[in-house]
Amino acid sequence: MTLEQNLRAVRSRIDAAASAAGRDPADVGLLAVSKTWPAADVRALAAAGQHDFGENRVQELLGKAAQLDGVPLRWHFVGQLQRNKAAAVARTGAVVHSVDRPALAATLDRAGEAMGRPVEVFVQVDLGGPEGEAAARGGAAPADVPALCDAVAGAAGLRLRGLMAVAPRNADPGPAFARLAALAERVRADHPDAAELSAGMSGDLEAAVAAGATLVRVGTALFGARPLPCGEFEEHQPRESHE
């Protein structure tokens, strides 16, 4: 199948999942995770109407942003982010999905203030493993999320868009996404503008949409199997990708 055909198929899955959950399909956006794929593929999907693209390595994000300058798209950073690279990511205008600690939030806040425009961020939640163990995929512990969201929402250089998470491996994603949805509801009670929920990937987007995801992060179902191994994050920790 072509990239355009894959895009139509993924959007059809999202629409069907939203309809099955009694939701308006227009309320669920698609983030195409283009890591390891060339700028030409991003350009092709952008021409087909896809405008949000995600990367998980800083150098790859910077390179593609330069190559595709002038193309109407929006970048997102979905990998673990080192503080010393945060300002470079912020300068691309990327939405950062992986704010998981106060120190990173503070660094991005300073970058946003220096640019004169806030950095849009999601707070990443660690949903744990099937028996409740740490998921080792990054993210703040659920008990720490409300305070971190308070800090982000109170920072002049940041704009809190909502929560982001990855479902545990080798387990039904439904219960984890249900916990995420409950936490998101609590955060929205304190910060009504933080209404977004970034959750769901190629294999579990239906469960995420059923739980209220407003943005699903899809890579493999759009681009195919990865041409290169890419299981590490920006901090070179042994963690899985966010799609």
pLDDT of residue 227: 57
pLDDT of residue 59: 96
Q: How far is CA 57 from CA 64, 81, 141, in A?
A: 11, 8, 23
User: Residue 86 carries which side chain, given as an amino acid letter?
Assistant: A
Using the predicted structure, report yes or no on whether residue 135 has a pLDDT greater than 80.
Answer: no
Using the predicted structure, report yes or no on whether residue 238 has a pLDDT greater than 50.
Answer: no
d(CA 222, CA 10): 7
Query: 184 lies in a domain?
Result: yes
Range of the domain at 107: 3-223
pLDDT of residue 137: 63
Query: 28 lies in a domain?
Result: yes
Query: 68 lies in a domain?
Result: yes
Give this prediction's pTM: 0.90
Kindly report which listed range (42-51, 82-91, 136-145) carries the lowest average pLDDT score: 136-145
Query: 228 lies in a domain?
Result: no
d(CA 72, CA 11): 19
Using the predicted structure, report yes or no on whether residue 229 has a pLDDT greater than 90.
Answer: no
d(CA 55, CA 233): 10
Query: 62 lies in a domain?
Result: yes
